[in-house]
């Protein structure tokens, strides 16, 4: 099965429980996915979207990433309105 079809999530303790994480940390947290896969999943609503702080800076809420990591398929279904 292709990794784009089945997200694998690293141990939830690799990110702080609160605060924000940049792209590098999010990719590492999501089992080392490629940058293009991360942005594809964001567009598809399969992973939390980042918060835009400026035209060149985005970061993800750690709380949302931990909720996603607990059950990626349920998170995706809930946030896609399925």
Domain range annotation of the chain? 17-77
Residues 40-69: tens digit of each pLDDT? 999 999 999 999 999 999 999 999 999 999
**Beta-strand runs (E) in 4-81:** 20-21, 51-54, 57-61
Instruction: For residue 58, list its beta bridge partners.
Output: 52
The 10s digit of each residue's pLDDT in 8-28 is 665 555 799 999 999 999 999
CA–CA dist 76, 44 (Å, integer) = 9
pTM of the complete model beyond 0.95:
no
């Amino acid at each position: 099965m292709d990794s784009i079809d089945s997200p694998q999530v690293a141990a939830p303790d690799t990110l702080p429980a609160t605060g924000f994480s940049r792209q590098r940390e999010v990719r590492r947290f999501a089992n080392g996915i490629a940058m293009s896969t991360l942005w594809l999943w964001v567009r598809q609503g399969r992973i939390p979207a980042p918060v835009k702080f400026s035209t060149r800076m985005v970061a993800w809420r750690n709380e949302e990433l931990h909720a996603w990591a607990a059950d990626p398929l349920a998170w995706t279904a809930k946030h896609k309105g399925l």
